[in-house]
């Protein structure tokens, strides 16, 4: 079996879990993906089968799009909901802060300074890779060191935030936003940095990737759907040919 299947990765599955399941369903030895998603994240995951795995390199450099939710007031060591709280600004509410949570909803719709913080993170910016990440430094994955309580210096990396939109104030301490960004952007670092700039700290609570150039979430299929297709021998019916999309990538200089 050769081609691409666009998967809507479910929550609590690793990207490896998805590939392993589809490898078993398709009985194809070579299965890989472009663009890892953290286990708590959902959204589009392009999965490549057979000879199409040779085309993964063409799809790694493309821009990504996410809808995210962050909770203000609590920072975690992983910068997301899977981590251990390391500071709780909510407990400091009585001490007073620049942006008290009780007034955050009204402030964020009216305060130019808060809107300016979101605008600050558009364009080319520097971002430090988090310790809890698969990035390798001197041959070691950072998360392996982090789990041992070891933190090392990491070089800032230049990324591009093409757009960053505040979507909704869900609760006084929860904010959703949309970001379209370059490859290698850590959305949880973005949320943490924005939270720090707001004087409250923050961590990511939800993350859905709706775009992985040139693919959109509307094209993706759920694992349940794919499992059912495999049961009736129709999994190959949803395969896409990589050559149909490589021309788009080349045209856009990816």
**CA-CA distance, 240 to 190, in Å (whole number)?**
33
* Cβ-contact 191, 70 below 8 angstroms: yes
**CA-CA distance, 123 to 115, in Å (whole number)?**
15
The residue annotated as part of the active site, out of 2, 12, 17, 38, is 38
**CA-CA distance, 240 to 251, in Å (whole number)?**
19
**CA-CA distance, 97 to 89, in Å (whole number)?**
9
Residues with Cβ within 8 Å of 87's Cβ and at least 6 positions away in sequence, in order, are 74, 75, 201
Closest Cα to residue 43, out of 66, 17, 19, 73? 66
Backbone phi and psi for residue 80, each to the nearest 5 degrees, phi listed first: -140, -175
**CA-CA distance, 141 to 143, in Å (whole number)?**
6
Tokens of 5: 């299947």
Tokens of 150: 């070891």
Backbone phi and psi for residue 226, each to the nearest 5 degrees, phi listed first: -65, -40
Residue position matching structure tokens 């495999």: 230
Alpha-carbon Rg for the chain in angstroms = 20
**Active site includes 38?**
yes
* Cβ-contact 159, 51 below 8 angstroms: no
| Enzyme catalytic residues | 38
């Amino acid at each position: 079996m050769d081609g691409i299947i666009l998967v809507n990765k479910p929550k609590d599955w690793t990207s490896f879990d998805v590939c392993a399941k589809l490898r078993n369903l398709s009985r194809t030895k070579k299965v890989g993906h472009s663009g890892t998603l953290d286990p708590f994240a959902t959204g589009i995951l392009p999965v490549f089968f057979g000879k199409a795995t040779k085309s993964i390199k063409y799809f790694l450099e493309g821009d990504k799009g996410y809808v995210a939710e962050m909770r203000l007031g609590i920072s975690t060591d992983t910068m997301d909901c899977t981590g251990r709280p390391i500071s709780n600004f909510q407990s400091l509410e009585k001490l007073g802060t620049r942006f008290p949570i009780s007034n955050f909803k009204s402030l964020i719709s009216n305060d130019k300074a808060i809107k300016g913080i979101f605008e600050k993170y558009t364009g080319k910016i520097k971002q430090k890779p988090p310790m809890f990440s698969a990035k390798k430094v001197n041959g070691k994955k950072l998360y392996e060191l982090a789990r041992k309580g070891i933190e090392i210096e990491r070089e800032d990396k230049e990324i591009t935030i093409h757009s960053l939109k505040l979507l909704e104030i869900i609760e006084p301490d929860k904010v959703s936003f949309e970001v379209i960004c370059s490859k290698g952007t850590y959305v949880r670092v973005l949320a943490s940095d924005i939270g720090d700039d707001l004087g409250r700290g923050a961590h990511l609570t939800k993350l859905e990737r709706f775009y992985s150039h040139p693919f959109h979430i509307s094209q993706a299929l759920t694992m349940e759907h794919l499992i059912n297709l495999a049961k009736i021998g129709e999994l190959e019916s949803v395969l896409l040919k990589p050559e149909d999309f490589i021309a788009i990538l080349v045209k856009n200089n990816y």
